[in-house]
A = this chain, B = another copy of it.
Amino acid sequence: MNQDLPIGIFDSGVGGLTVYRALHERLPDERFIYLGDTARVPYGTKSLATVERYAIENSLFLEARGIKLLVVACNTASALALPAIRKAMSVDVIGVIEPGARAAVEEAGGKSIGVIATEATVQSHAYRNAIASRAPSVKVIERACPLFVSLAEEGWAETDVARFVAAEYLEEIKGSDVGTLVLGCTHYPILSRVIQQTMGNDVLLIDSGEATAHDVWMLLNEKSLTRRVLEDSERERHLCDDLDHFYVTDAAERFSRVAERFLGSAPSVLEAVEVWGHDELRTY
């Protein structure tokens, strides 16, 4: 494996940029290829079979471009399709559920754990199961919060509407004396301030993207796959600069606009592609 290859990241759309940002901050010497499946977003209301199919098509697209590691930034794809993706890939695959669950257990101090995510992720109980395998006695309260996605994409993170919606969604979890709350959808970190205000300062929010960046850093070190930086000048990386490549399956203009809202800057290199229907992608 060539350690200088980029890290592949895919998400159902623009939300995975929060994971890209966490990876970029933790691993400033690495380069990234990001794919947002904007033609088929969202995954959170779709079935296991469909999410698996989309996830494998995305993964094969990135693998064909040359990557040393695949990060499944999408919580729904991580919850539903990780075994299928690993079977289809020859490189290592890291999802966001396991890292998020581990961080939630480590920080909860034995208290209950709240999980907010998409409908599909909640129904899969992927977080609950991952937490139970580490801390079987810890109570887990899960809640789907579909409106959070629209609020984040609309740029309404800091509005009264967001506070209203958060109060409604988080009521039960707030009453359950949780130690940590997992932000189990890539959009939710955009709303972290209003979520923190609603939950109070005693509850630690767990950003699965940040926990995942830590795991990626560990894996690269273990396998001696960290990128070699030969020149000092290469170190001056910026979020979304032209060393990272971004692909979307549709509506690149909208992706750019929301990316700017999420990251403060839009991708320099952004290309619209098709990831389905190609013969080479049909062999799995």
Contact = CB atoms under 8 A, between A and B. Distances in A.
A278 B168 CA distance: 44
A91 interface: no
Contact of A46 (B161, B165, B251, B277): B251
Interface in A47-78: 47, 49-50
Contacts of A150: 146-147, 149-150
A215 B250 CA distance: 33
Interface residue range, chain A = 20 to 34
Contacts of A151: 147
Interface stretch (A37-45, A93-101, A197-205, A232-240): A37-45
Interface in A1-55: 38-41, 45-47, 49-50
Contact of A50 (B153, B161, B250): B250
Given A46-B250, A147-B150, A161-B168, 20 more contacts: A38-B46, A39-B40, A39-B50, A40-B40, A41-B45, A45-B251, A45-B254, A46-B251, A47-B250, A50-B251, A146-B150, A146-B153, A146-B154, A147-B156, A147-B161, A150-B150, A159-B168, A161-B164, A164-B164, A277-B277
